Structure 1
């Protein structure tokens, strides 16, 4: 710009090549949707979906609303619940191809970007289960794509970027990280005049309007997301900080690191791409904020996918490389994507029978796999304990976390309404005050000081397949002699994590 090297010319999207990739991805994800079982977060979203609100203490309304929408339309089953995640994964792959096209990638580069994104480690994990990060992925990449178009071609694309980011605020506030990173990048490396562009600020205003339910909820409820972030940082922040930098290498897969690094490097060096160099700064800025806050490594995966897509454009159209070398690099990249896809599928998807998977390192590598195992078995144990108590009608049912509560709600028969002190479930209130006994799931007796006069362990949760997850081995208690009315005791049981 300013008489310097002109920006790259976008290439047409090769839809006939790309759509089969997206459709195949959706098909595979839905075909495997019923393997293993619900993820704990999905059980929670299913519960929250029946109590839709402007927001919740731990998240906006977006993902619970999607859970309610798809299960209401297609039935209360895993395929229906996971349909939005599968579609989001396919959308992310297509957006990666579109971003590669913005930087001049032809059919091969676009195909490489789509397949590499579709089969990356974390994209497959998120595409398999309905979690907030599954929906966040296309939000981040869509915002980045619109921002690139605004910087390279037409500033009116800031309106589209704002619209996408505003919708993202209804799902997860992490999109603010990207906004801060882009603003820091524009201030540091330019083009600084963009910060005075009216379309940029109109886009910001549009994001605020579309995200207003989430913003208003936070303001009127004392910014509970800050308390939630602090709680998450204190619980798992140290581990997340240790893992943050090395895990950047496995977000898509170790074999794909050279490709996305090539994209980042080209952004930093090519004169024609100077207008979008702010992305190079956005990555460490957003990453540093996430790191200091104890956030997970995948919080910035949207930028990594963007660099990968740009790297695919670099491989597809190298400016000064002889044709023979160029084709060799492209073939090596294709092999890397293929090998990465196989490894990622084994780690990220329920390919192996659950009993086999339990004997492998996969549960340790993929926490989402652990959290999708054993729920029906756990609920059967709870039912057995509940049926054995002297007066079931006067016995409350408590759980230590939302996964246990959601599983009991989904699979339980002949059980009372379940209550939990975790996150938004605490806000739904305590059990009825009739009776002084309770079956308590997943909470050790020493965690209930002064709540009951006596607690005894009646059983311990066992998924029966040897997968060591958060529930495995936790007690099922029968507690009697409640010491005070539930409204008095309920504040003691609240926890954010």
Structure 2
């Protein structure tokens, strides 16, 4: 009877409770003063422009965005899906622990380390990263499951996991790059003689094929995207900071990560999984060589946590050590709670400035440009958008009704365009456009232009040359917003040649995104 109750706790009640806890936490970690994040607006707009590919991400995000749109597009649903992907990752962590013969404590320890970590912050934003980590974890789970059962369908599902991961974010190719040599160097290399592995490869290729075709037809814009990423962001990545971040991701549960990695290499019962430790090593070395962003490697850790949880459960199997099990859980949760208001946007911008020393010491104020700023970059990217949308509505109200069908809302970057489209939805406003990111593909054909609402730091040379009158309606006043100072301008008295010029500028911009002309 006791064994049955323990089995139920392990199989049903404990996982369900932990998943519910994780889902609820995601609605408690964002102060209402913040808007959505810059990238979230772009991803949401993709739902209205379904395609086999995009400049910034593969098409999976667009499908999810369409579903969010059907559900009403509210803040709740925008945050629901990354939280859901995180909860599914948590479920796989616990399932891996079960596959490794872990009991209730192993599941609880691994799950606690997962919940109270940077994973909670990753799953806070509607970006491809949450599903990316889920796919990496799914791959590891299927491999562990295959070792135990040798079920051929695991290899077929492996193709599905990699294929869907590719359709979400190309980052999963780094996992495959590290996994192949790791398997070849281990006794598990015999899997390469299993024809179902190649059937799984075919499944992955078929899933990825539409996006691959789109990339070739559009001149491989992913290469242009990687070039810009390397030139403007990765060049600022310090390799030591990359390694330091790997520790900080699970700073309160790092003992679990360390023990899991050591066990993969040196714990005899885990010898069949040595290739997973090698995979971790190869992927980390690859990212170090490429000066990759630290969070690219996050998909490695759910698997490591499962091994660490089982390892500590066995270490605590002695009778007298059972009484210190709870201490390990406290050791994970307590430091995390101490830093809770630093990791998540629960404090107002003013309160963050008052505690700036704490943020700076943890490197939270360092942006992609390699410099420290007043707020963490993600937080600064969550301010000023509603204000900007309200200013655009104010400008649109000044356009005569007869001219509104011939009005273009033009933004300087994708965040501005996406924010206007999100906060102005259902208000009778025309969609905001931009030459930035994927918006260059979504431009309308307008043969007549009478007014332009321009959002930018200031009107550029092209605006001044093609508009007789430029009226400044206002500018973003939130000084801590990344968009602070962005102006909203009403342009009228437009050149009759402007529609044709817009078409030429768009074509030129599209050519810039092509890796080959």
Residue of structure 2 equivalent to 1:440: 454
When structure 1 is superposed on structure 2, of 392-401 and 167-176 the one drifting more is 392-401
Is 1:339 paired with 2:334?
Answer: yes
Residue of structure 2 equivalent to 1:80: 77
* Length, aligned pairs only: 481
Residue of structure 2 equivalent to 1:232: 229
Counterpart selection for 2:45 from 44, 47, 56: 47
Residue of structure 2 equivalent to 1:5: none
Find the aligned partners of 2:377 and 2:40 in 1 and give their Cα distance.
Answer: 14
| Residue pair 1:399, 1:443 contacting (<8 A) in 2 also | no
Structure 1 residue 450: Cα displacement = 9.2
Is 1:384 paired with 2:400?
Answer: no
Q: 1:275 is paired with a residue of what secondary structure?
A: helix
Runs of 4+ in 1 over 6 A off after TM superposition: 389-392, 453-457
**TM alignment of 1:385-404, pairs within 5 A:** 385-387=395-397, 393=404, 395-404=407-416
Unaligned runs of 5+ in 2: 1-6, 367-375
Find the aligned partners of 2:9 and 2:149 in 1 and give their Cα distance.
Answer: 15
Structure 1 residue 460: Cα displacement = 6.5
| Residue pair 1:396, 1:431 contacting (<8 A) in 2 also | no
**TM alignment of 1:86-125, pairs within 5 A:** 86-121=83-118, 123-125=119-121
When structure 1 is superposed on structure 2, of 217-226 and 62-71 the one drifting more is 217-226
Structure 1 pair 98–340 and aligned structure 2 pair: CA distance change class (3 A) = farther
Residue of structure 1 equivalent to 2:502: 486
Structure 1 pair 38–66 and aligned structure 2 pair: CA distance change class (3 A) = same
Residue of structure 2 equivalent to 1:137: 133
Residues 271-328 of structure 1 show CA distances to partners (whole Å, capped at 9, x for unaligned) of: 3322221222222322343344453211111112221221111111129x85545754
| Residue pair 2:245, 2:294 contacting (<8 A) in 1 also | yes
Structure 1 pair 347–160 and aligned structure 2 pair: CA distance change class (3 A) = farther
Residues 396-425 of structure 1 show CA distances to partners (whole Å, capped at 9, x for unaligned) of: 321122111011112234643311111211
Find the aligned partners of 1:11 and 1:245 in 2 and give their Cα distance.
Answer: 39
Relative to the length of structure 2, the TM-score reads 0.83
Residue of structure 1 equivalent to 2:267: 270
Structure 1 pair 11–27 and aligned structure 2 pair: CA distance change class (3 A) = closer
Relative to the length of structure 1, the TM-score reads 0.86
When structure 1 is superposed on structure 2, of 284-293 and 386-395 the one drifting more is 386-395
Find the aligned partners of 1:208 and 1:429 in 2 and give their Cα distance.
Answer: 31
Find the aligned partners of 2:429 and 2:172 in 1 and give their Cα distance.
Answer: 40
Find the aligned partners of 1:12 and 1:153 in 2 and give their Cα distance.
Answer: 24
Q: 1:441 is paired with a residue of what secondary structure?
A: strand
Find the aligned partners of 2:74 and 2:69 in 1 and give their Cα distance.
Answer: 7
Find the aligned partners of 2:322 and 2:468 in 1 and give their Cα distance.
Answer: 73
Structure 1 residue 493: Cα displacement = 4.9
| Residue pair 1:58, 1:423 contacting (<8 A) in 2 also | yes
**TM alignment of 1:292-371, pairs within 5 A:** 292-318=289-315, 323-325=319-321, 327-328=323-324, 330-343=325-338, 345-353=340-348, 355-357=350-352, 359-361=354-356, 364=365, 366-371=376-381
Residues 96-143 of structure 1 show CA distances to partners (whole Å, capped at 9, x for unaligned) of: 12222223321011011112212212x112322221111222211111
Residue of structure 2 equivalent to 1:65: 63
Residue of structure 1 equivalent to 2:156: 159
Residue of structure 2 equivalent to 1:472: 484
Find the aligned partners of 2:465 and 2:244 in 1 and give their Cα distance.
Answer: 43
| Residue pair 1:318, 1:326 contacting (<8 A) in 2 also | no
What root-mean-square deviation, in Å, do the aligned CA atoms of Structure 1 and Structure 2 show?
3.3
Structure 1 residue 265: Cα displacement = 0.8
Structure 1 pair 463–166 and aligned structure 2 pair: CA distance change class (3 A) = farther
Q: 1:143 is paired with a residue of what secondary structure?
A: helix
Structure 1 residue 218: Cα displacement = 2.7
Is 1:216 paired with 2:213?
Answer: yes
When structure 1 is superposed on structure 2, of 231-240 and 340-349 the one drifting more is 340-349
Unaligned runs of 5+ in 1: 1-9
Structure 1 residue 78: Cα displacement = 0.9
Residue of structure 1 equivalent to 2:199: 202
When structure 1 is superposed on structure 2, of 138-147 and 373-382 the one drifting more is 373-382
Structure 1 residue 14: Cα displacement = 3.4
Structure 1 residue 374: Cα displacement = 2.2
Find the aligned partners of 2:455 and 2:303 in 1 and give their Cα distance.
Answer: 43
Residue of structure 1 equivalent to 2:373: none
Residue of structure 2 equivalent to 1:409: 421
Find the aligned partners of 1:190 and 1:447 in 2 and give their Cα distance.
Answer: 65
Structure 1 pair 385–305 and aligned structure 2 pair: CA distance change class (3 A) = same
Residue of structure 2 equivalent to 1:150: 146
Q: 2:101 is paired with a residue of what secondary structure?
A: coil
Structure 1 residue 263: Cα displacement = 0.4
Structure 1 residue 52: Cα displacement = 1.0
Structure 1 pair 344–187 and aligned structure 2 pair: CA distance change class (3 A) = farther
Structure 1 residue 160: Cα displacement = 2.2
Residue of structure 2 equivalent to 1:3: none
